[in-house]
Amino acid sequence: MSAGYSSINPDDAGAHASSDAGNAGDLATSCPNGPGESAATNVEAGNPYTTDEVSTQQEAATAMAYDASQDLAALADAPAGSSQVADYESSANGNTAEARDIAAAGISENGIASDVHGSSNMHRPEDGLALSPEEERLWSIVRTNSLDFNAWTALIEETEKMSEGNILKIRKAYDAFLAEFPLCYGYWKKFADHEARLGSGDKVVEVYERAVQGVTYSVDMWLHYCVFAISTYGDPDTIRRLFERGLVYVGTDYLSFPLWDKYLEYEYTQQAWSNVAAIYTQILQNPNQQLDRYFEGFKELVASRPLSELRTPEEAAAAAAAEAEDEQIEGEVNPGSEPSKPVSTSLKDAEELEKYISIREEMYKKAKEFDSKIIGFETSIRRPYFHVRPLNVAELENWHNYLDFIEGGDDFNKLK
């Protein structure tokens, strides 16, 4: 079920709604300053696991000579919204009060954060920060009406233009805007890029942690966080934990393939074949827009690597235990008989490989069967990303029908 949110920039929206040409004008008027990067471009024809130009640009923009693997290692294990994350946010770089205020901003049902301060402090620039006349005008507008989306985006654009190297002013504008509109994934990404350029590694991690709390079910948000982690940290286990943490929330999204592709790409670069096989096993259990491609990729993998390299340590141990049990049972049934003719190693390996593939093929077939039931709903979703403009009647009706169908089943995890 497509629960993820994407940027409401027209370029970003292409990652999730390439066929939604009718909404292009809609998007262009609402978020003209998103990052303009389509996660779906990570998938290249015939070789989806090579790092493309977009990924390279993302990694170059966020790569930093900063070693904070212990911080990310702790956060990678923490669920979004956990007290551990909140503690980190409140202490990073000594910004205790500011981070606590931002973390305290609640998110209402329509995705708009409430101003828990009960005042306009969040919307007031810091004393001593010189503002241009246009910035003064725009700050005045958003202080009067904090839901004026166009004024907010104009303020961010003006701040970036007038204060390209002033991280304090940029930070203040983004903090205030994202407290009101936390589901705008594209602006979280831009904020993180500013911190990478002008701030510190601590602040980049802090922004991404706040982002995955504000828009937890965004495939793109987790993708960018993982790209940052890959380009910044050297410990593979830390990076893997972050991928797995994100996939808990978005791994079953029908359009989650960009994140799965990046995870596979990373493990291919590590030549961790058992991890690659385990990722394919995870993917094949749920409907996905690219499910057929993943099944073909899995078959190519098993054709190119021996089974001993594909099994996880747990799978290898289970297979050895099963073999020992079979030998023990045979000895108990025929205690006086001569040992049966040993089966050749090659034949035995072939049987084991066939069984290994068969199990995953059944997963794939089951996922395809469910896919056939939901494809109509999925293809009718014209806007699988956040937008300040309400959905039209037809889109709302499709969502209601989709939810009714899922609620009528026996797997409520799919409601995510």
pLDDT of res. 386: 83
For residue 361, the one-letter residue type is E
Closest listed residue to residue 245, CA positions, set 269, 266, 221, 268? 221
Maximum Cα–Cα distance for the chain, whole Å? 98
Taking the C-alpha atoms of residue 231 and residue 208, their distance in angstroms, rounded to an integer, is: 14
Q: Are 226 and 243 in contact (CB under 8 A)?
A: yes
CA 196 to chain centre: 19
Q: At what angle do helices 69-76 and 219-232 cross, to 10 degrees?
A: 150
pLDDT digits (tens, 9 = 90+) for 57-74: 444 444 433 344 445 555
pLDDT digits (tens, 9 = 90+) for 11-63: 333 333 333 333 333 333 334 334 333 333 333 333 434 434 334 344 444 44
pLDDT of res. 9: 38
User: In the Cβ-directed half-sphere of 13, how many Cα atoms lie within 13 Å?
Assistant: 26
pLDDT of res. 315: 86
Can you read off the two tokens belonging to residue 219?
């495939």
Residue 382 is classified by DSSP as S
pLDDT of res. 186: 93
Residue 380 is classified by DSSP as T
Closest listed residue to residue 105, CA positions, set 180, 167, 36? 180
User: In the Cβ-directed half-sphere of 251, how many Cα atoms lie within 13 Å?
Assistant: 18
Can you read off the two tokens belonging to residue 122?
């969040």
* Residue whose entry in the numeric block shows the structure tokens 């504000």: 214
What is the rounded radius of gyration, in angstroms, for the C-alpha atoms of the chain?
A: 25
CA 281 to chain centre: 19
Residues of the chain with pLDDT under 50: 4-70, 81, 83-120, 128, 341
Can you read off the two tokens belonging to residue 372?
């056939």
Taking the C-alpha atoms of residue 305 and residue 154, their distance in angstroms, rounded to an integer, is: 54
pLDDT of res. 371: 96
User: In the Cβ-directed half-sphere of 186, how many Cα atoms lie within 13 Å?
Assistant: 27
* Residue whose entry in the numeric block shows the structure tokens 């089943």: 409
Tally Cβ neighbours within 10 Å of residue 297: 18
Instruction: Render 196-254 in DSSP notation, one character per residue.
Output: HHHS-HHHHHHHHHHHHHHTTT-HHHHHHHHHHHHHH---HHHHHHHHHHHHHHHTT-T
Collapse the DSSP code of 107 into the 3-class scheme (helix H, G, I; strand E, B; otherwise coil) and give the result. strand
Can you read off the two tokens belonging to residue 16?
């999730």
Q: In sequence order, which residues have a C-beta less than 8 Å from that of residue 366 and are 6 or more positions away?
A: 285
Q: Is the pTM of this model over 0.75?
A: no
Taking the C-alpha atoms of residue 409 and residue 403, their distance in angstroms, rounded to an integer, is: 10
